[in-house]
Amino acid sequence: MARSKRLLAACGVALLCAPGTWLRSEVVAALPTDIAVERIQPAGPTGQPAWQVAGVWHYEAESLRFGGFSALLALGPGKLRAFSDRGYRITLTEPDGPAPTQSMNRQLVERGREYDLTDAESATRDPDSGTYWIGYEQVHAIQRSTIASSPDGVRDLGAVVDWADNSGIEAMARLADGRFVILPEGGDGGLIFRRDPVESGAPAPFRFVTPAPGYVATDMTELPDGRLLLLMRRLAFPSRSAWPPFSTLLAIGAAPVKGGTFAPETTLRLDAVLPRENYEGLAVRPRPDGRVDVWLISDDNFSVIQRTLLARLVFDPRA
């Protein structure tokens, strides 16, 4: 029975991800110039003292280029950037600020890599220089980009890892001390680079212990106190109360060290807190009061029955 449920859940996700079946109809291929945003959930409690919901917004555009956002960065004050499965990025101002704006562009990549550096799954940033790194699925590559989004080097990890094509660099975080931590989607291990992975040598492995069976990493970032915040997803059994069929949680743990174990603990289950969706992007921004804004973005799989949602939670690490 359990096997049948897993198979049904997997089939449900396969249908969501099959653009020939569920792709939006009668939409244009050009980049959207009009992206609508609507607040669909107000601020409210989560049932956990350390966490509050600040709001959820739905983004929508009539374009084949819009959607599939799988990685998220916090840029300057009040600004976010998300990267898609098809090689595009959206830069937006936080929707609860005055006069929110949003625009999309092609993400530039190294010349000759335009057809394989497309499926962005993770991103991390150096807040001092503005340099950022994108992790790509399928090819297991990391590209470095300047603050102006010009490509500035790429590193292929295909000879280093034995991950499946669709279980690539799903979560990546640059730590304040300059190290990079990487997790694939699934598996029981990850990689640590002592510095910029585009420049440095062989990574060191660490062991990963999931805080909840069946959940896999979809994004990761460092909190101001040095711990790692991990976004995780599990395929849920499809039902009226579980559709789209994804279950999501947030976990927190001390950053791993070479040869060590990363064993984060669940801090918040999101299924009863946010609209159910395929959340894949995570970013944080410290607040002056010591709390932390936690932003999540969902990957709609370019499906007519899923949505691009941006959610803001507020986390108090002292609670």
CATH number at residue 245: 2.115.10
Domain count, the chain: 1
Span 66-79, average pLDDT:
96
Can you give the C-alpha Rg of the chain in angstroms?
18
User: Residue 248 in contact with residue 223, Cβ under 8 Å?
Assistant: no
Is 297 within a domain? yes
Residue 12, pLDDT score: 52
Is 29 within a domain? no
Distance between CA atoms of residues 189 and 316, nearest Å: 29
Structure tokens at 44: 């409210």
Is 95 within a domain? yes
The model's pLDDT over 237-263, given as tens digits with 9 standing for 90+, comes to: 888 888 899 999 999 999 999 999 999
Is 46 within a domain? no
Q: How confident is the model at residue 22 (pLDDT cuts 50, 70, 90)?
A: very low
> Which residue did the predictor score with more confidence, 12 or 135?
135
Residue 151, pLDDT score: 97
Is 161 within a domain? yes
Residue 20, pLDDT score: 41
- Tally the residues of the chain: 319
Residue 241, phi-psi category: left (phi > 0), alpha (psi -120 to 50), beta (remainder): alpha
The model's pLDDT over 192-244, given as tens digits with 9 standing for 90+, comes to: 999 999 998 899 999 999 999 999 999 999 999 999 999 999 999 888 888 89
Cβ contacts of residue 285 below 8 Å, gap of 6+? 74, 292, 293, 295
Q: Phi and psi for 49 in degrees, rounded to 5?
A: -55, -30
The model's pLDDT over 156-206, given as tens digits with 9 standing for 90+, comes to: 998 889 888 777 899 999 999 999 999 998 889 999 999 999 998 899 999
Is 314 within a domain? no
Residue type, 103: S
Q: What is the largest CA-CA distance in the chain?
A: 53
27-31, 123-127, 217-221 — which is least confidently predicted?
A: 27-31
The answer to whether the bond into 45 is cis (omega within 30° of 0) is no
Is 32 within a domain? no
User: Residue 300 in contact with residue 82, Cβ under 8 Å?
Assistant: no
Residue 213 to residues 114, 234, 270, Cα–Cα distance (Å):
37, 9, 16
Measured from the Cβ of residue 166, the count of other Cβ atoms closer than 10 Å reads 13
Residue 5, pLDDT score: 47
Structure tokens at 86: 């098809």
Number of H helices, E strands in the chain: 2, 23
CA contacts within 13 A on the Cβ side of 171 = 28
Beta strands in 162-227 (DSSP E): 169-174, 180-184, 189-193, 204-208, 216-222
Predicted confidence (pLDDT) at residue 11 exceeds the cutoff of 60: no
Structural domain span for residue 106: 2-23+60-309
Is 251 within a domain? yes
Residue 201, pLDDT score: 87
The model's pLDDT over 91-123, given as tens digits with 9 standing for 90+, comes to: 999 999 888 999 999 999 999 999 999 999 999
Q: What is the pTM of this model?
A: 0.91
Q: Which residues pair with 135 in a beta bridge?
A: 122, 142
Residue 27, pLDDT score: 64
